[in-house]
Structure 1
Amino acid sequence: MTDQLRSLALDALTRARDRTAALTSCVDDRDLTAQHSPLMSPLVWDLAHIGNQEEQWLLRQVGKGEALRPEIDSLYDAFEHPRAARPSLPLLAPAEARIYASDVRGRVLDILERTAFEGGPLVDAGFAFGMIAQHEQQHDETMLITHQLRKGPPALSAPEPPAHDIGPLPREVLVPGGAFTMGTSTEPWALDNERPAHRRIVPAFHIDTTPVTCGEYQAFIEDGGYHERRWWAAEGWDQIRQHDIGAPLFWRRDGGTWLRRRFGVTEEVPPDEPVLHVSWYEADAYARWAGRRLPTEAEWEKAARHDPHTGRARRYPWGDADPTEAHANLGQRHLRPAPAGSYPQGASPLGVRQLIGDVWEWTSSDFLPYPGFAAFPYREYSEVFFGSEHKVLRGGSFAVDPVACRGTFRNWDLPVRRQIFSGFRTARDAQQPAGTDVGGL
């Protein structure tokens, strides 16, 4: 078992570092040090931050070694310096950042070889190595967002998602009411906000079989959705009025055609693809316009994990096996979501598709701790974000690596955020007729 865990950890760490290298080697030093949006860090900050987190947790904590570069800890403390201020810091230059991250990794691999994976929660089952692999992949996704915000010619390329025989699908499925197991107490690399497993009772509800598409969202725009106050939460209405928002981020109209910019390429908006780069407020407004609502986080997880035939909670919609290319669009294999209804092998027992991968899905829920939550290994990962300011997203996106995506994984962000790879699907109460106008706020 130890050899198997060591191999899993090595694979996760290597895959993350290969992706980091790809995201930072495709542009020159000027692009690495520039701030492409005040919402994001310079790419070179992420690169050195990745190395610094790895040093702090794997070299100093797991390896019990001396600090390699303690003088830079504060520079790469995400809570000490907001993103907008990071370009003004005395950051490591690109070449130095690469050398630093590489030096840390070399020492970490030596520690990995001698770690026994037992003796405390930080090392049991290789948790700390999995945590750091997830951390790096999360920053890789952040850097991919920066690439999307970056102006200029394309720096990245990837093949198109594979074609699937989608066939006719029902708009929604009924998820039976009752109890299910939410969260996990057994997933070895699950993060603190996913724990512990607990029982939730969820009334019956209907949920979309696929995420809302660009074509469906265009209908909301064409019907004047951005100009009807009744569909919008008060803060969302203020946001779109203040910033003159009338479509998803990166969209623009050219005559009668909607275009979008995607990683340096301008293209027609594909109507059958899940809509991307919408805020929680936009998702909520669309759902109200459609006579529906966003699913709660518990509803989303029940649709994704609960097997009504056995009563057990699966790791993923399709079962307990790790994701493959047949199950979901993950890992930056493609630079876009697949058409809605793709990946039939990844469907849940009730036939809900694309719950994992393609687009992060906004839920109606605030980011709150589960009953019995305990911060581990540090409060700043989850606990400091709990509250009504942040909304929960579920399911991952095409930009998420499988190590940082599972049926229990919880993401969160401010409801105004649009640069993230966010979409949504809608739901309705089982007692509510389909298409009933639920009204505005």
Structure 2
Amino acid sequence: MTDPALEADTLRERALTTLTTARARTTLLTSCVDDPDLTAQHSPLMSPLVWDLAHIGNQEEQWLLRAVAGREAIRPEIDGLYDAFEHPRAARPSLPLLPPAEARGYAAEVRGRVLDILESTAFHGTRLTEAGFAFGMIAQHEQQHDETMLITHQLRTGPQALTAPDPDPAPLFTGPSEVLVPGGPFTMGTSTEPWALDNERPAHRREVPSFYIDTTPVTNAAYRAFIEDGGYDTERWWTPEGWAHIRQYSIHAPLFWYRDGKQWLRRRFGVTEAVPPDEPVVHVCWYEADAFARWAGRRLPTEAEWEKAARHDPAGDRSMRYPWGDGDPAPEHANLGQRHLRPAPAGSYPEGESPLGVRQLIGDVWEWTASDFLPYPGFRAFPYKEYSEVFFGPEYKVLRGGSFAVDAVACRGTFRNWDHPIRRQIFSGFRTARSEAV
């Protein structure tokens, strides 16, 4: 029988660890540049870094201090400034935002009070407090904004501000190019993961016919072959919307790539380098991923196919938390948490492969799927409809698996990301699939 006091201590320690990890990363991302860089808007697609910093503190105050602990508001007058739905990103630089020192002080004050209430919060009684959900939600929220800020760092011009060791070299992957995922039902989503967000719920059975899926994500070398074969100049590979988009914006390669003679180069966090052939391609939009798949005689996997490949254990007919099992991610499993600032070579992390032998389903690059972002049967918005519900529909495509920029707390086999099919600044790649011949 579980000791309730011991269980509460374990949850409290997990909440403390994840909140602390997130704040350390936020501090790194906002202390490695000077104040003008923090207040500048480096792209109309992104907020100034100082907006993200204060927004992180404001969300933490609203949910943990006010909603969970019932405390009075510290800075109620700034709620509107940091409401992501009230002000689009392009308009945020014109707002009377807190200057960097004040934003840091505000976020630190909120965190200090949160750590005080963490000691006395009971992890039961309400849906917000059950199993520490609200603390996990806020840790995930901060890490998601950390990923957003890392995207901003990639978009900013100027000298390199961030450094990290490269992933370990990996031998050229010589395994099978694709894996057969047998047809049949599997359990998609979750009803038991305590910190899962509303769009991951509830668990439900899905019937998925047999299909083949790439063993690894599509590499830069494979994508370059698409470019060199005239992929961006051949209309038949593109949806009408995709073709119109790439023609309108003169897109001829992944974002940050450019040709120097016969060589392809890319800019990565302030450094210019040759495009590494064996890394998964990154910074491609859904239209580009879909066009490559058509060119290759394949297609993008559906969201259900992707999750079955990542979670289904045919030996036990069960769905696991991760491709490698139920244990939390470790460095040998996946490239996560900004430990590196690039994807690892295709075929890396054999200890993280699925029971069927599919690799790098978690980490490295977000993977576009063929599916629109839609609710699961029985979906209920919680704790607010603006997290997921307002985004459901054909305007958004689902991405799965996380990237090198994603922390483990915000990445699991059921985690769903979504974005417009034109987005390329995100750390997005893909793998392809095909139906089994009948």
**TM bracket (short chain):** over 0.9
Q: 2:397 aligns with which of 380, 391, 398?
A: 391
Q: 2:337 aligns with which of 331, 339, 354?
A: 331
- 1:345-401 per-residue CA deviation (whole Å, 9 max, x = no partner) reads 000000000000000000000000000000000000000000000000000000000
| CA distance in 1 between partners of 2:228 and 2:218 (Å) | 16
- Map 1:291-440 onto structure 2 (within 5 A): 291-431=297-437
Kept in 1, the 8 Å contact 2:19–2:139? The answer is yes
Residue 19 (structure 2) aligns with: 13
Describe the SS at the equivalent of 2:357. Answer: coil
Describe the SS at the equivalent of 2:36. Answer: helix
Residue 90 (structure 1) aligns with: 96
Residue 291 (structure 2) aligns with: 285
Residue 38 (structure 1) aligns with: 44
| CA distance in 2 between partners of 1:207 and 1:423 (Å) | 15
Describe the SS at the equivalent of 2:318. Answer: coil
| CA distance in 1 between partners of 2:249 and 2:243 (Å) | 10
Describe the SS at the equivalent of 1:6. Answer: helix
Q: 1:172 aligns with which of 168, 178, 194?
A: 178
| CA distance in 2 between partners of 1:299 and 1:431 (Å) | 16
Give the superposition deviation at 1:167: 4.5
Residue 181 (structure 1) aligns with: 187
| CA distance in 1 between partners of 2:173 and 2:40 (Å) | 46
Residues matched between the structures, number: 432
Alignment-mate amino acid for residue 27 of structure 1: V
Give the superposition deviation at 1:163: 2.6
Segments of 4+ in structure 1 off by > 6 A? none
Q: 2:219 aligns with which of 186, 206, 213?
A: 213
Kept in 2, the 8 Å contact 1:220–1:289? The answer is yes
Alignment-mate amino acid for residue 403 of structure 1: V
| CA distance in 2 between partners of 1:136 and 1:6 (Å) | 18
Residue 437 (structure 1) aligns with: none
Give the superposition deviation at 1:116: 1.0
- Map 1:87-166 onto structure 2 (within 5 A): 87-165=93-171
| CA distance in 1 between partners of 2:192 and 2:257 (Å) | 42
Give the superposition deviation at 1:36: 0.1
Q: 1:62 aligns with which of 58, 61, 68?
A: 68
| CA distance in 2 between partners of 1:165 and 1:131 (Å) | 38
Residue 233 (structure 2) aligns with: 227
Alignment-mate amino acid for residue 152 of structure 1: G
The Cα RMSD (Å) is: 0.6
Alignment-mate amino acid for residue 221 of structure 1: I
Give the superposition deviation at 1:165: 4.7
Kept in 1, the 8 Å contact 2:69–2:117? The answer is yes
Q: List runs of 5+ in structure 1 lacking aligned partners.
A: 433-441
TM-score normalised by L of structure 2: 0.98
Describe the SS at the equivalent of 1:322. Answer: coil
Residue 435 (structure 1) aligns with: none
Describe the SS at the equivalent of 2:119. Answer: helix
Alignment-mate amino acid for residue 186 of structure 1: T
Describe the SS at the equivalent of 1:133. Answer: helix
Kept in 2, the 8 Å contact 1:166–1:344? The answer is no
TM-score normalised by L of structure 1: 0.97
Kept in 2, the 8 Å contact 1:166–1:342? The answer is no
Describe the SS at the equivalent of 2:287. Answer: helix
Describe the SS at the equivalent of 1:365. Answer: strand
